[in-house]
Amino acid sequence: MIVLPLLMKTTPDVLPQDLVGRVAIVTGGARGIGLAIAQRLHQQGARLCLWDRDPAALQQALALFPATEAFAVEVDVCSQQSVEQAAAQSVALAGKLDILVNCAGVAGSNAVLWEASVEDWRRVIEVNLTGPFLCCRAVVPHLMSNGWGRIVNIASVAGKEGNPTAAHYSASKAGVIGMTKSLGKELAKSGVLVNCVTPAVIQTDILKQVSQAHIDYMLSKIPMGRFGLTEEAAAMVAWLCSPQCSFTTAAVFDLSGGRATY
């Protein structure tokens, strides 16, 4: 079992209310990093549309917010029809859309590439790369109509460096980085900014999907000697969603405890 060092509080007592009047979609918003991001955005004034495929987890997450300030939308991000219906439902519930955070993801099982199953490869690519594509495709027209918007895609340092026994995950996250850069350039004059975050491992339930050997490998690559916290990821995403982020698009932000080398 990995024992993490005690850390100082990462969330300030007073947060800027710079997202009042904004509506944010967070995919994978029922747990883990997605839920932490949703909580941070709400603390800064945003109303929420939590997208997730787990209805029970969605209801548990929804109970953390005032009834009129958060909505739960059950969605399969791998399905074009489901995503388009979720976008329409979100507009109907919240009145408009301003922010999209693509956080839904899976790790897949660990295996060297030549022994990996084709089914696992396709599942990881579908959730981690096709999912954000479909969500952006459905939401971008709403953001463009506002003349203002923010998209933040959660990629991974694995997409920059590659992790052994995780070719599918690394490839999917490299694709997210490339998609972010392309879409950011396409929307550069629209008022809609598109960026991505590349964390090293964040301490969430996704670690239950991978082997202990892989966990040990990933921890050994982080100079700080610990995994990241969901609150740390949420703080970075919140700035990228804010008006203070105004001249940054098609960019990649590391959150890696010193692991990232470029």
Active site residues: 169
Helices 230-240 and 32-43: angle between axes, nearest 10 degrees: 50
- Cβ neighbours for 230, distance < 8 A, ≥ 6 positions apart: 32, 33, 35, 36, 37, 202, 203, 204
Alpha helices in the chain (DSSP H): 32-43, 55-62, 80-94, 118-125, 131-146, 158-161, 167-186, 212-220, 230-240
Give all strands of the β-sheet with 149-154 in edge-to-edge order: 70-74, 47-52, 23-27, 99-102, 149-154, 192-199, 251-255
Cα angle vertex 99, ends 93, 104, to 5°? 90
Q: What one-letter code names the amino acid at 238? A: A
Residue of 126, 219, 240 lying closest to 176 (CA atoms): 126
Q: Which amino acid is at 106?
A: V
Beta carbons within 8 Å of 242's beta carbon, 6+ residues apart: 16, 18, 19, 44, 150
CA 228 to chain centre: 14
132 sits in the region (left: phi over 0; alpha: psi -120 to 50; else beta) called alpha
* Residues facing residue 255 across a β-bridge: 199
